């Protein structure tokens, strides 16, 4: 049996901040699927479909690789989009955390013995909040993103990293932590 997995850190963003973004986005005629508050996270590495017998080894390697990694202070700050402002598909909150690269490197190192290839894309820590289906008013939206680029949503400490199963359902994904490693 296979499980759809990723390695990440869950976050709790104040509901008042999320309500404000939702209202602003609605006023800009942007439509899509909002990520449920309990599913908010940032991802260090998406693993995809993994055979169940390999999960204990991934957990063991992850725990070993992160055993000497320290907690990181983080700011959830600013809004951005992927892939770009002309054709936005994902609205996200940025994760500004000096030292988070150390966690990413440890995660990647833990996966090498399992045959996972290095990623070719730049690591941009972020929390996805909306999957955009339709939008209008490109200039108004760009202005809004610019206005929000320095908005501080939350200061937090990254205290743990989890191996998370993503169970896809008709109502959206359900996340289940399989292993959690506490940072020093």
H runs (alpha helix) in the chain: 15-27, 55-66, 100-111, 138-147
H runs (alpha helix) in 69-181: 100-111, 138-147
pLDDT averaged per 10 residues, the chain (length 184): 97 95 94 95 97 97 97 97 94 96 97 92 96 91 96 97 96 94 98
pLDDT at 38: 94
pLDDT at 135: 87
Q: Is 151 a catalytic residue?
A: no
Nearest to 105 by CA among 7, 176, 4: 7
pTM: 0.94
User: Which one of the listed residues 41, 64, 89, 104 is annotated catalytic?
Assistant: 41
| Alpha-carbon span 22 to 156, nearest angstrom | 22
Asked if the 2-182 domain carries CATH number 3.90.1140.10, the reply is yes
| Alpha-carbon span 150 to 21, nearest angstrom | 14
User: Which one of the listed residues 3, 45, 77, 126 is annotated catalytic?
Assistant: 126
Domain boundaries defined on the chain: 2-182
3-state secondary structure of 101: helix
């Amino acid at each position: 049996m296979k499980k759809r997995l990723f390695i990440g850190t869950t976050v709790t963003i104040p509901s008042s901040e999320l309500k404000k973004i939702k209202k602003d986005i609605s006023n800009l005629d942007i439509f899509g699927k909002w990520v449920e508050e309990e599913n908010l996270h940032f991802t260090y590495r998406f693993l995809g479909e993994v055979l169940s017998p390999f999960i204990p080894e991934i957990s063991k390697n992850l725990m070993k690789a992160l055993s000497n990694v320290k907690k990181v202070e983080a700011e959830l700050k600013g809004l951005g989009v992927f892939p770009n402002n002309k054709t936005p598909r994902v609205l996200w909150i940025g994760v500004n955390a000096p030292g988070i690269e150390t966690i990413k490197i440890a995660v990647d190192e833990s996966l090498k013995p399992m045959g996972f290839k290095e990623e070719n894309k730049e690591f941009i820590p972020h929390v996805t909040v909306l999957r955009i289906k339709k939008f209008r008013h490109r200039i108004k939206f760009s202005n809004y993103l610019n206005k929000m680029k320095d908005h501080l949503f939350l200061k937090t400490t990254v205290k743990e990293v989890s191996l998370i199963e993503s169970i896809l359902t008709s109502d959206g994904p359900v996340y289940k932590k399989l292993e959690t490693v506490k940072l020093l």
